[in-house]
Chains A and B, each alone.
Chain A
Amino acid sequence: MNYFEVFGFPEILNIDLNSLERKFHELSRQYHPDYFTTGSVEEKQKALRMTALLNDAYRTLRHPVRRVEYLLDVEGFKPDGSKVPKSFLMEMFEINEQVEELKSGSASPEQVAAVRSEIESRAALFDSQLAASSSEWDRLVTAGASRAELNSQLSKLTEILSSSSYIRNLERDLEGTA
């Protein structure tokens, strides 16, 4: 059972977090080990297994990026660094050097603010690209699009995620310096 199936959801990416939580609570009440303490060994094992699966699914699906990563994994698409354009990598390399400079502590507050806003604006760009591509995926699924169309959209999502991982790493690096 994949995570979407656990919640009885179609494989779409725009998930209403309130209904996800409601369903999570409902299923927790159904499966949680606390309710099977007096049960047989099999019942206890099942409760543990099902609840772990439910919790893993909830942890993954409620997170907008992990959700996409999971969908790609279920569909057999692996993150692929070779799909990232060279020019983009060069830009990332430059920003990375600036972050390293900040880490050494010699940068002025203005420089820090500049690098931070550069990273933030790029992260925002990816977020909007991801949101748009996710919605496009949902539209294709709902419309019953062909396998080829779906795969092409999955490739697109893979590319966005692969690139955005660089930005996310830079964000994390920068947090470490703050």
Chain B
Amino acid sequence: MSKIVGIDLGTTNSLVAIVEDGVPRVLPGRDGNKLVPSIIHFEEGGEILIGNSAKARLIDNPRNTIFSIKRFMGKGLDDVREDLPMLPFEVSSESEHIIRLKIFGRDYTPPELSALILRELKQNAEAALGEPVINAVITVPAYFNDAQRQATKDAGRIAGLDVLRIVNEPTAASLAYGLNEHQRGTIAVYDFGGGTFDISILKLSDGIFEVLSTSGDTHLGGDDIDEEMIRLVLREIGGKPDAASIPSIRKAVNKAKEDLSTSESVEIVIDSLKIHRTITRSEFNALIDPIVERTLKPCRQALADAGLKPNAIDEVVMVGGSTRIPLVRERVQLLFGRVPHTELNPDEVVALGAAVQADILGGGKRDMLLLDVTPLSLGIETMGGVLSKIIPRNSTIPASATEMFTTFVEGQTSVKIHVLQGERELVSDCRSLAQFDLKGIPPMPAGLPRIEVKFLIDADGILNVSAQEQRTNKFQSIEVKPTYGLTDEQVEGMILDSFEYAESDIEARQVIEARNEAETVLNATDKGLRDENLKNLSDQERAEILASVAHLQAVMNSDSHTTIREAIERLDAATHHLAELRMNSAIEKALKDKHVREIQ
């Protein structure tokens, strides 16, 4: 099998890593940086920038520069309505169940946008390894629900990757940390990133990494801290938030936040708004305290689910950029009563762990095994809108449950099943996952068919459903309508689209088109130069035409369509007068001919 890379598709930054000779390492991008900012910039001409080059456009072109797209994965409009006023993106009207961002008149779903980042990482890995990369392990927050996991898998497929496994980020991090020593014991992984928070509690024994429980919040991260600081600035400058100034404020507070991890006091500087505002760490701590507090509730929940007291945790591992914040470290230390591990770079540890998991899948490392869990209970809707749980949260995956269904009406040939995820009693308080239509049930009296439906959560944490009628032993066809997701056909369509719109393809096509046009222009000029009107031009004009022809001939085989276009424009300008003259004489000639015919 060809190489398998591990990808950390983060809210803020993304990375690709690989294990070589048993050692995981992050592969640098073609610009030399290991971190690829998860930012996508669309140029008007169709060119797409990813990463650092896109990040540079956040301020001057915020509308077409997409960041933190991970927060939109598997979400509908209602889920993100609160965030939208702070974001400069245009949301398409057709976003009810899948957010679509409108960019230059075209709608993009989060999986398509994430696919652009994944393709960049794929190409970075290919450049670094010198061979094609197809197979990948991609990480997701442990608390991601089914729709968010599926959206991530879809993104991989759209990017041309074969996603061999979706791995939970904290679990991946534990693999990276557990590499050197044959550890035993219970560890807590506190993963506080740009957009999401996870806590996972694992038991390590003889190479088996068994997740006991996990909890989290997929909408809680460094972005929320930034937004709290943006609100502070907006309050102080008074007036209502001005959409155009938010990107500069965001950039300034983000820098202040990062600097406050090492300094006691920093200045928030926003030149365009004439803001020079000093903020101390204690003021910052007071500001973000409620956010940090929100991470502790899932920690307590995970401990309770694992049946453990805080002091039963042997080691605490810190993951994610937001764990650089001193207050976060303090709080975690206080909760677990021990100093958390911060030895590995919190930005890289997830990607390194993903590479280790990729290595296990590729057959490299057989002594390690990851046993992960599903973060949310799976249930089906029953009478009265009540959720009946069939696979409890924190079940080791793959996990399955079998339920029997029957008909209520004589001759009924189909049954609807509504599947949800969540912990609450009522269906209306849980996350709808999909509607399944069991079709082709043999017509029988009501209550007689016995349809056995098997719900299986696979090793990616994604639900699969199969059904069989027990009396006829016939497999039922199941029509799946994902509530917050793309259908298979839609994903297929996007793969084609992405080829059509692929950046390198566009580049190549533009070069070819420019060369073709150059040839046409040169041929036309060649004719013009043999035209009798040439003598009506000044010496200077004739010289410029000849110079422009020579220039275009010199550059037309270059790979830059803009260079070729510039040369074409120069020649166009130089031959403008000549073209006019030729046009005039052509008209005159036409009129003359017409005259002759009319006279005859």
What is A's interface to B at a CB cutoff of 8 Å?
25, 28-29, 32-35, 37-38, 48, 51-53, 55-56, 58-59
Contacts and interface: CB of A to CB of B under 8 A. Distances in A.
Contacts, number: 57
Given A29-B369, A53-B400, A59-B399, 9 more contacts: A32-B369, A33-B398, A34-B370, A37-B165, A38-B1, A55-B395, A55-B398, A55-B399, A56-B401
B207 to A, nearest CB: 9
A53 B396 CA distance: 11
B362 A56 contact: no
B396 A37 contact: no
Contacts of A58: 396
B77 interface: no
Given A48-B456, A52-B456, A35 B366 contact: yes
A37 B362 contact: yes
Contact of A37 (B164, B206, B400): B164
Interface in B333-390: 357, 360-363, 366, 369-371
Nearest to B363: A38
A91 B175 CA distance: 52
B305 interface: no
22 contacts: A28-B369, A28-B371, A33-B458, A34-B165, A34-B361, A35-B366, A37-B1, A37-B165, A37-B361, A37-B363, A38-B362, A38-B363, A48-B456, A52-B399, A52-B456, A53-B400, A55-B395, A55-B399, A56-B400, A59-B392, A59-B395, A59-B399
Nearest to B402: A56
A51 B395 CA distance: 12
B7 to A, nearest CB: 16
A25 B205 contact: yes
B398 A51 contact: yes
Interface in B197-233: 205-206, 208, 210
B398 A52 contact: yes
Interface of B: 1, 164-165, 205-206, 208, 210, 357, 360-363, 366, 369-371, 392, 395-401, 456, 458-459
A55 B206 contact: no
A33 to B, nearest CB: 5
Nearest to B371: A28
Of all A-B residue pairs in the complex, the 10 with the closest CB atoms, nearest first, are A52-B398, A37-B361, A52-B400, A55-B396, A33-B459, A51-B398, A38-B1, A25-B208, A55-B399, A48-B398
A157 B539 CA distance: 111
Contacts of A48: 398, 456, 458-459
B366 A28 contact: no
B138 to A, nearest CB: 14
B457 to A, nearest CB: 8
A35 B457 CA distance: 18
Nearest to A32: B369
Contacts of B401: 56
Nearest to B203: A21
Contacts of B357: 34
Contacts of A37: 1, 164-165, 361-363
A56 B357 CA distance: 23
A32 B368 CA distance: 11
Contacts of A53: 400
A25 B206 contact: yes
Nearest to B458: A48
A57 B92 CA distance: 47
A38 B369 CA distance: 16
A56 B459 contact: no
A34 B369 contact: yes
A170 to B, nearest CB: 16
A153 B353 CA distance: 51
Chain B CB count within 10 A is highest, among A34, A48, A51, A53, for A34
B459 A34 contact: yes
B460 to A, nearest CB: 10
A28 B367 CA distance: 12
A125 B263 CA distance: 59
Contacts of B370: 34
Contacts of B360: 34
A59 B396 contact: yes
Contacts of B398: 33, 48, 51-52, 55
A176 to B, nearest CB: 10
Contacts of A28: 208, 369, 371
A52 B371 CA distance: 12
Nearest to B456: A52
Contacts of B459: 32-34, 48, 51
Nearest to B366: A35
Contacts of B456: 48, 52
Contacts of B210: 25
Contacts of A34: 165, 357, 360-361, 369-370, 459
Contacts of A35: 363, 366
